[in-house]
């Protein structure tokens, strides 16, 4: 190695090392496993919607997850997704409505639930966004 190249490559290597030291590597992407998504949904519900009960967070989280997977769901679909009885599913879906996260449309005898636009925007950040960006609705 010639002497004239040694200082330039040493300076470059040293500058790269210092730049790497001052800029930590980016955080790994958030897990998209259902359990990890449900945990983030529970944290979001507790922080922004005052859902303090862990069981309620799980129920509402499973219903939100079902509504994220399909554009609209019937009451029976939400009940099956949350693993609830008919009555408990009715209370939980009404709670989503009261929180402004879901709305419904009556078609004949059936009621179809869907996420509100504000809930869709917020849930996208909860599910796929950076760790610190959990928005309110």
Q: How much is the average pLDDT of 90-115?
A: 94
Rounded Cα–Cα distance for residues 113 and 4 (Å):
72
pLDDT tens for each residue of 26-36? 777 788 888 88
CATH architecture of 34-128: Orthogonal Bundle (1.10)
Q: Rounded to two decimals, what is the model's pTM?
A: 0.76
For residue 2, is pLDDT > 70? no
Does residue 80 have a pLDDT over 60?
yes
Residues paired with 110 in a beta bridge? 107
Spatial separation of the C-alpha atoms in residues 108 and 125, rounded to whole Å: 35
């Amino acid at each position: 190695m010639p002497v004239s190249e040694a200082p330039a490559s040493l300076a470059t290597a040293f500058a790269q090392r210092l730049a790497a030291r001052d800029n930590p590597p980016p955080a790994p992407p958030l897990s998209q496993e259902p359990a990890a998504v449900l945990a983030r949904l529970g944290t979001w519900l507790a922080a922004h919607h005052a859902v303090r009960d862990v069981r309620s967070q799980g129920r509402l989280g499973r219903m939100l997850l079902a509504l994220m997977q399909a554009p609209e769901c019937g009451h029976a679909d939400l009940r099956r997704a949350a693993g609830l009885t008919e009555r408990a599913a009715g209370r939980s879906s009404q709670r989503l409505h009261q929180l402004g996260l879901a709305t419904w449309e009556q078609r004949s005898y059936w009621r179809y639930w869907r996420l509100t636009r504000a809930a869709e925007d917020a849930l996208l950040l909860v599910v796929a966004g950076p760790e610190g960006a959990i928005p309110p609705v």
